[in-house]
Amino acid sequence: MNIPEKFNFVDKFLLSTLAILLFLLAIQVLMVLFGFNKAYAQEQTNPPALKTVSFGQKQQSFSEQDKLNFIEQSRTQSFSDQDIGKATSFTRAQRLKTTSTNENALASKSATMATINSSYYSHEFTIYDAQSYLFDDFDEDGYYQTFSVVFDADVISNIANERADVYAELYLSVDGGPWTHYFSTDIFTIAGENIDDEYEVVTTLYEGYYSDNYDVLIDLYEVGYSGLVATFSSDDSDALYALPLESDEHDTYYDDHYHDDHHHHSGSAGIWGIIMMLMVLFQRKIKRSNVAISKTKQVVVKEIAI
């Protein structure tokens, strides 16, 4: 490509602009290659707050229509489980530590009850089984924003159908990471090994949960007594293992997803477009200059020939 010997002001402006844009593009490429993306760094240092919307009750009282109504309304709830104190987002280790601090306060009462009932009182608890169900995958990527966990807690006792008031705390773990508390049930009553007292918790992940596989853990507590009485997790059943979940902001319709991707990547695409436009204009400018120079030389040759 022949470059004209002299540049006018417009030529110099185009060259300067092109150089600046190439420099900016190079910086952007380096930021992507070496991980200096500002949004990514901010996500790592300030992870998003976890928000869930849940509802739990005995499964025999939880009709399919009630469940569908809750799932429909959960995405428009003004208050999350965290807002109303039903979820803390603490790790299980933190929750267990908090529970253990209450043991001294209840130790005297527990010892007294054990002495009074020592002649006949003896029971323990177990979670016999658990199941999980998945709902709502709007973008059809295989990850669901709503799921439910059903578990059967039993009282093992020498008293037939002994009743006990209990509550459960539920946790999620992603890729083998720490268990994070996402819901505490209300107090409910179980009787012996009766299957009719199964409890179900339906949860919509509202915010802060990336698309991944999550495990579930259930801790059971008896009202009036501190300390864990039973636990059940993905180690005990595959039904609580590797649930493909994501929160609502990641489960968007295809058109919205495409719009978001297009919007986030428009910066580099815009720079490339401007650079290509300037290069085309500059090439046309050079071509016109070369044509003008060629015509001038032809005129000079003719005049000399004359």
For the chain, which residues make up each domain, given as ranges?
A: 9-40+267-305, 48-259
Indicate if the pLDDT at residue 76 is higher than 60: yes
Indicate if the pLDDT at residue 205 is higher than 70: yes
For position 107, what pLDDT does the model report? 39
Indicate if the pLDDT at residue 281 is higher than 90: no
Indicate if the pLDDT at residue 35 is higher than 80: no
Distance (Å, rounded) from C-alpha 3 to C-alpha 89?
A: 65
Q: What is the per-residue pLDDT across 87-127, written as a single tens digit (0 to 9) for each?
A: 998 999 998 887 654 444 343 334 433 433 443 457 899 99
Of the pLDDT bands very low, low, confident and very high (cuts 50, 70, 90), residue 278 is low
Indicate if the pLDDT at residue 247 is higher than 80: yes
Considering only residues 34 and 85, tell me which one the structure prediction assigns the higher pLDDT: 85
Angle between helices 266-305 and 254-264 (to 10 degrees): 50
Helix runs in the chain, H state only:
9-33, 38-45, 64-74, 92-100, 103-116, 254-264, 266-305
Interval 5-24 mean pLDDT: 69
Of the pLDDT bands very low, low, confident and very high (cuts 50, 70, 90), residue 18 is confident
Considering only residues 200 and 227, tell me which one the structure prediction assigns the higher pLDDT: 200
Interval 222-236 mean pLDDT: 94
What is the DSSP code string of 35-78?
A: T--HHHHHHHHSPPPPEEEEEEEEGGG--HHHHHHHHHHHTT-S
Distance (Å, rounded) from C-alpha 184 to C-alpha 203?
A: 12
Distance (Å, rounded) from C-alpha 265 to C-alpha 168?
A: 45
Return the CATH number of the domain spanning residue range 48-259: 2.60.40.10
Which of 82-91, 113-122, 135-144, 236-245 has the highest mean predicted lDDT (pLDDT)?
A: 236-245
The mean of the pLDDT values for the chain is 77
Query: Percentage of the chain surpassing pLDDT 70?
Result: 64
- For residues 219-258, one letter each, b for 16 or more C-beta atoms within 10 angstroms of the residue's C-beta and e for the rest, the string is bbbbeeebeebbbbbbeebebbeebebbbbebbeeeeeee
Are the beta carbons of 155 and 123 closer than 8 angstroms? yes
Nearest to 179 by CA among 87, 261, 249: 87
Indicate if the pLDDT at residue 14 is higher than 50: yes
Indicate if the pLDDT at residue 301 is higher than 80: no
* Backbone Cα Rg of the chain: 33
0.75 surpassed by pTM: no
Interval 61-89 mean pLDDT: 88
